[in-house]
Amino acid sequence: MEEPDEEYGIPVKNRIIRFLGGKTTLFILIVLLLVGVNVMIFDKVSFIFYPIKVLFSTVVLPIILATILYYLLRPLLHLLERIKVPKVWGIAIIFLTAIGLITLLVFLVLPFLKIQFWKLVEEFPTTFNQLILTLDSFFSNSLFAPYYKQLDINAAELLDSGLENIGQMIADALGGIASGLTTFISALTGIILSIVTVPFILFYLLKDGDKLPSYVMKLLPPRMRDDAQSILGNADHQISAYIQGQILVAMCIGTMVTIGFLIIDMKYAVLLGVLAMFTSVVPYLGPVIAITPAIIIAIVTSPFMLVKLAIVWTVVQLVEGKFISPQIMGKSLHIHPITIIFVLLTAGSLFGVAGVILGIPGYALLKVFTTHLFQLLKVRYNKYEVDVRMHYERPNYEDEK
């Protein structure tokens, strides 16, 4: 028999549990301990999971690409179905149209962009030298001249020493490329094979993608199906809105930038517009990447060109921020800008370029599952609350869409 506490009449054993926060907290601590032990064991036998890692790294790229294309093409398939076109024939029409557009792009647009790209590469050393000399002249004759002179920077000598080292840098780069040629070919082969499998995965997604939620529902216990259906529906809505909206916004930005740069007679206007379109897929960081080469070209061209560039870029950002994004995307993700920046930086550090591109939709999915789980836990609390006035209301998931 345990002797009770003299002050409260509670056995010593229960006092310890109470000090730890009660039986629930003790249970959580035990679970965390078991999780830590499992993580340590899996770390020691991680080689067992290497085939699973290879399988995952092989299939993840084509699945992601096919999923993005599925969300882009699904509205077109639904439109064809509404006008009484059978689904299989609708998919065939979409595929033939896509093949035609890709062929048109390869034979008409890519050669022009290729010419502009290689011309930019050839002129880059001259452009870079002019940029350094222009900045040197600006700082030498500006309000910062006394501080700049204290740095004792000789731009001409810096450029000369840089030119002398270019040959060695190229040789080292070629040596590194040669040593890693086998790895590069292997990676390139994997990427090509992944891209080749995308049409097949996309076909079955378009054909049977609408049946996938009902199939998942059948695998779950009946008590969980309503909540799981709401979660899957909300997740589908979030991803669909983000992918479709982001692609449309990027195309609008690329078109506006190209037109604006052509109006002000900016060199490589089409190439810079295409770059702005692709980088706009990444929120906040994308525009910074897109504007950098344009600023370099404008500085080298003339100060007036820099002013015209600033005007064009300001107009594009205002139109995109005030009219295009609110109309196309709205506030479907409900993610604060600071959160987006942190997600991009973290995902980029962990997964590179893929993390930057997929970080936001991945976070949106995680937020959907976490939010719904928290709502269900709050509703579960009602079972232990005697006062009906203190009950949580069951969330209406349709309001979140």
Enumerate the domain spans of the chain. 1-44
Asked if residue 257 lies in contact with residue 312, where contact means CB atoms within 8 angstroms, the answer is: yes
Q: Which pairs from 306-310 meet CB under 8 Å and 24+ separation? A: 308/264, 308/266, 309/264, 309/266
Q: Where do we find the tokens 């689904």?
A: 87
Tokens for 76, please give them.
């077109």
CA distance 126 to 323: 39
CA distance 207 to 310: 47
Residue 11's DSSP bridge partners are: 4
What is the pTM assigned to this prediction? 0.67
Tokens for 369, please give them.
């599952």
81-124 pLDDT per residue, tens: 888 888 889 899 999 998 888 888 888 877 877 887 787 777 77
The reported pLDDT for the residue numbered 132 is: 72
CA distance 253 to 245: 12
CA distance 270 to 278: 13
150-189 pLDDT per residue, tens: 665 655 555 555 554 544 554 554 455 445 545 555 555 6
Q: Where do we find the tokens 């940029």?
A: 131
Residue 7 pLDDT > 50: no
| Count of CA atoms in the C-beta half-sphere (13 A) of 2 | 10
The reported pLDDT for the residue numbered 96 is: 92
Average pLDDT for residues 301-328, to the nearest whole number? 82
Average pLDDT for residues 334-343, to the nearest whole number? 74
12-51 pLDDT per residue, tens: 555 555 555 556 666 777 878 888 888 888 878 777 777 7
Taking phi over 0 as left and psi of -120 to 50 as alpha, with beta for the rest, 268 belongs to left
Least-confidence region, from 154-163, 221-230, 283-292: 154-163
Helices (H), 209-336: 212-219, 222-263, 269-279, 285-301, 303-319, 325-328
The reported pLDDT for the residue numbered 6 is: 47
The reported pLDDT for the residue numbered 174 is: 47
Q: Can you spell out the DSSP letters for 13-81?
A: HHHHHHHTTSHHHHHHHHHHHHHHHHHHHHHHTGGGGHHHHHHHHHHHHHHHHHHHHHHHHHHHHHHHH
Asked if residue 292 lies in contact with residue 279, where contact means CB atoms within 8 angstroms, the answer is: no
Average pLDDT for residues 206-231, to the nearest whole number? 81
Tokens for 160, please give them.
């000369």
CA distance 113 to 100: 19
Asked if residue 80 lies in contact with residue 215, where contact means CB atoms within 8 angstroms, the answer is: no
Asked if residue 287 lies in contact with residue 280, where contact means CB atoms within 8 angstroms, the answer is: yes
339-to-10, 333, 350, 353 alpha-carbon distances in Å:
47, 11, 16, 18
CA distance 124 to 53: 41
Q: Where do we find the tokens 């910074």?
A: 288
Tokens for 100, please give them.
């035609």
Task: Give SS3 for 283.
Answer: coil
209 burial via Cβ count (<10 Å: 0-12, 13-18, 19+): middle
The reported pLDDT for the residue numbered 19 is: 55
339-381 pLDDT per residue, tens: 777 887 888 787 776 777 777 888 888 888 888 877 777 776 6
- Residue 242 binned pLDDT confidence (cut-offs 50, 70, 90): confident
112-164 pLDDT per residue, tens: 778 877 877 777 767 767 777 777 676 667 666 666 666 656 555 555 555 54
62-to-55, 74, 108, 195 alpha-carbon distances in Å:
12, 17, 27, 6
Q: Which of 387, 381, 341 minimizes the C-alpha distance to 360? A: 341
